[in-house]
Amino acid sequence: MTSVKKSRATLIGVVLAFALPVIGAKFVLDQSWYQGAATNKGTMLVPPIKLGEQVNARLPEGWHVALIADDNCGAQCEQGLYAMNQLDVALGKESDRVKPLVFSRAALAFDLGQTPMVQPFNDNEIIDSLSALPPYRLFIIDPLGNVMLHYPTFADEEQMRAEAKNLLSDLRTLLKLSRVG
């Protein structure tokens, strides 16, 4: 084999060594053979619920973990509120970036004295815009006013603790990756 043919063969070999994996990956993705694993533990809202600029302007700045409460919520709400209150301790130095809120249409039937970090927020427009969420859910609102993840609440303390750990895990990931708030 002449040196010109040897050089061409080497060049073609190098190009193929770099091009074949890229072409193979593109083919696998186009054929939908690869399904990436979900890393979030909550239920993702696709597309996220957008609260709008005017509604979002009424909320305190930063990230929010929220719950919509009414008089029928009972033990579920109390466990959810307790879990939201404990986020302040669990988040550590990041706790100033997250504000726990409870939305309600009227005065709450239960006492928020046990959960001093949770702020009540009476706003019918926000509650109406979140009507697509299942009832009695904890949800995360980003600083831009997008509701993206939601979590069930439980009357049972052990189940609620497990779900609160899931919320905390997702919230830590979002705060770590976020460039806003």
Encoded tokens for 96: 């100033």
Per-chain mean pLDDT for the chain: 85
- How much is the pTM? 0.74
Evaluate the omega torsion of the peptide bond into residue 47 and state whether it is cis, within 30 degrees of 0: yes
Give the pLDDT mean for 146-150: 91
Residue 95 phi/psi, 5° resolution? -65, -25
Q: How far apart are CA 155 and CA 145, in angstroms?
A: 28
Give the pLDDT mean for 134-150: 89
Q: How far apart are CA 4 and CA 15, in angstroms?
A: 17
115, 82 contact by CB (below 8 A): yes
Instruction: Report the half-sphere exposure of 154 (CA within 13 A, side-chain side).
Output: 10
Give how far the C-alpha of residue 71 lies from the chain's centroid of Cα atoms, to the nearest Å.
26
pLDDT for the residue numbered 161: 92
Return the CA Rg of the chain. Answer: 24
Kindly report, residue by residue over 75-90, the tens digit of the pLDDT: 888 888 888 888 888 9
141, 63 contact by CB (below 8 A): yes
Q: How far apart are CA 151 and CA 43, in angstroms?
A: 6
Encoded tokens for 53: 């600029």
% of residues, the chain, pLDDT over 70: 91
Q: How far apart are CA 142 and CA 60, in angstroms?
A: 11
pLDDT for the residue numbered 138: 92
| Dihedral of alpha carbons 57, 108, 90, 174, sign | negative
What's 125's DSSP letter? Answer: H
